Structure 1
């Protein structure tokens, strides 16, 4: 009896230790969308809802943008939510935590049907901006990830209101909770936020000239990328047709597939993404923190006479960064900011396809991602020239599928500029022997474990290992 009591106490203690970590992993997320300006917002919303169980969704706010200046369309958000309501019970057969239609419907709000800074200032409050203020005012210290798919003027108005009604100390506490990832600048309130609230975390490719934007990597048919999995045929077969009501409301591509999706892809809990470190890289791209060189949007192929003249950034932001890699599609080398997203394209498309399949299939009929594990800590230190092992023992697949292992160095994510003792990939080894390079000062190296199952579609999960190499 005493042994049972001891075991129970130990189990309870272990659970208590695990609980805060589990809670910390659940992110607060809000979407601002100019839905109906382009079909891609609806596409992104469909994908977003298939991951709705991973986050605390704080709001779905209809906004304007440069593409839709005098209209907001909350009814279009609700249309997708109603399709989601029909499949939510089946999604729960595969993973817990999918919120109900009613829970999400109550968080659909709308901004003013005006463009940009015309919606910011005294008397410019809206249902949407009031909701943003309410969310940010919650007694909850977790960051709020605000994914901006159009213009952010409801956020700008919320910040204006907070600054006007709270003490500087109270306001600063709120600003520290804000995490913004916006798809370029789609009105003039985005640059206003960056200039007036310089401490706020902000990911963006500045300006309206999309040609430089990292988010294009989500589907742009560039050399080295897997172009099959973003084709109309693939989307019809794997997403739109025969996968229930949610897949059926996924519209055909007009200008480009899911340009807004990168805003939340680094929030997916897959073992690779680390939202608080955009420089680590993940499904939503990789970004570095610096003051970007000025580029005027009123030049080049995306020139717009109605876009105001851009001004230089006044502070550092999280913005474009290049990855250099050898493509697994054609075995050629590439360097670009788009590659920070397209390098993961097969993985994130297959993951979406699997989740859409969950909408209609029983658990045993569908595929589920393997669970990657490490036989050692996710970060540790070694000395120059020392040998060490990267080991994925404990990895398993919930469906019992066979698995393949791939290790690679994510060079740009670490501080060590060179290449380690294997290059560019180490395949089919769950245990990998590595020799630490010689260094003159402490350097970090990021190693990525990718585990892929042999189910249909083939799914992946990751583990990131950060090794600090110390000089002897």
Structure 2
């Protein structure tokens, strides 16, 4: 393939245009062990996302203290007496470890996809937010200022604010806007439309105490039900069955060690009893086989999947063909959510574990494929995802009792064979029953009522190493 030199100015303009079509997002994190593992995965998907910030924040589990010896205590926490800091892992792990390793493999990643952001550009997005105490939102920080300015800028795209720790730095940004424009209803409405909080869980009280009562029109998604797939698998013993039976292999130590903890980047990934631990965290016993059996979370086998509890906050944004971040009611790798209350605008992930488990095998293969990208710049030696498309489009009107034959178009950048299947996503449609599908022909039930919908998924999987899967969706509208 002939390499063509692109002038820097033109390249920067192309990069800016490319970002315009991607979800705009900020990660806020307390950098617990599972956050770190999620970050290793997340950075491999930054070619699909417009990462505007990676911000340290506090949570009920990790906070730095104010450096003045001030003691802090809230009832019901892990510590029985006031503390000056709690399990704080510092503010250099992202820069000195994760992004430093990303920089080493960036040349290979960029040959697999030129859209990967430059390490230096990602580094400029790293900020320290409100880290002093759990729920602290009393003063502006570099992290809260970054979020505030994004919410006030003229880019019309939503800003997806991922809360891997507490929501306190996000809350401080909103409080700063409220203080700057105390009586401007238009600003408040515009920010409420622009900001979307994707919380892996509420790890402090700032959502309940400040965001919900003061910003009731701002959409917040509470996604902790996804822990069933991606969170700590505690006290399960050696007989654990994480994942659906066919997918359990993707969480085993043999698979993780062979396919994920490889090369200068993958070796940073955390798994059970791998000897790694977070600096500054005395309760981080996951890497110590002598201490782990007595900890709050009993170990599984060596190198078994540990936790990436914060994947739930960015999986809804990933480019799989299913994603529609504007509509949490649609399912996909990020699960499926329902609106719990309209004011405040709170959505909660469906608690049925299958809402995330059904995608786990595909997600793990995708992760492994991208990890293999870090090892080589040769495009031909690794696998890349196919594209699949339903020819008839996204919507189709149908009548009860009719037969509808759909068509697909697929492409694989590596020339792999793509196998397709069609299936009904029952949780998405409003028709309550099962629909018969033979090949690509859908039989519309005779009892389907006008106005009901049937969601049909086209799923395409290639036959390359680490088979990769992409999707398209059609909604049949009964008329």
Give the TM-score category using the shorter length. Answer: 0.7 to 0.9
* Cross-structure match for 1:6: none
Distance in structure 2 (CA, Å) of the matches to 1:400 and 1:320: 37
**Secondary structure class of the residue paired with 2:389:** coil
Equivalenced residues, count:
397
Query: Is 1:279–2:329 an aligned residue pair?
Result: yes
Query: Is 1:218–2:230 an aligned residue pair?
Result: yes
Greater CA drift, 143-152 or 225-234: 225-234
1:211-290 map, 5 Å: 213-218=225-230, 221-222=241-242, 224-225=244-245, 226-241=247-262, 244-253=263-272, 254=286, 256-290=306-340
Identify which of 210, 222, 239 aligns with 1:204: 222
* Cross-structure match for 1:382: 398
Question: Unaligned stretches of 5+ in structure 1?
Answer: 1-18, 292-312, 323-335
Shift of 1:23: 6.4
* Cross-structure match for 1:459: 468
Shift of 1:316: 4.9
Shift of 1:261: 0.8
1:7-406 map, 5 Å: 25-35=21-31, 37=32, 39-70=33-64, 71=88, 73-78=90-95, 79-117=97-135, 119-121=136-138, 124-166=139-181, 167-192=184-209, 193-204=211-222, 213-218=225-230, 221-222=241-242, 224-225=244-245, 226-241=247-262, 244-253=263-272, 254=286, 256-291=306-341, 315-321=344-350, 336=352, 338-361=353-376, 362-392=378-408, 394-406=409-421
Q: Is the 8 A contact 2:218 2:344 kept in 1?
A: no
**Secondary structure class of the residue paired with 1:105:** helix
Distance in structure 1 (CA, Å) of the matches to 2:443 and 2:332: 23
Distance in structure 2 (CA, Å) of the matches to 1:183 and 1:194: 17
* Cross-structure match for 2:444: 435
With over 3 angstroms needed to count, the CA separation of the structure-2 counterparts of 1:30 and 1:135, relative to structure 1, is same
Q: Could you give the per-residue CA deviations for residues 168-215 of structure 1, whole angstroms, max 9, x where no partner exists? A: 21122112101111111111112231232111111115xxxx7xx333
Distance in structure 2 (CA, Å) of the matches to 1:461 and 1:113: 39
Greater CA drift, 187-196 or 451-460: 187-196
| TM-score, length basis structure 2 | 0.78
Q: Is the 8 A contact 2:167 2:204 kept in 1?
A: yes
With over 3 angstroms needed to count, the CA separation of the structure-2 counterparts of 1:363 and 1:108, relative to structure 1, is same
**Secondary structure class of the residue paired with 2:254:** helix
Q: Is the 8 A contact 1:94 1:363 kept in 2?
A: yes
Question: Unaligned stretches of 5+ in structure 2?
Answer: 1-14, 65-87, 234-240, 273-285, 287-296, 298-305
| TM-score, length basis structure 1 | 0.80
Distance in structure 1 (CA, Å) of the matches to 2:207 and 2:399: 46
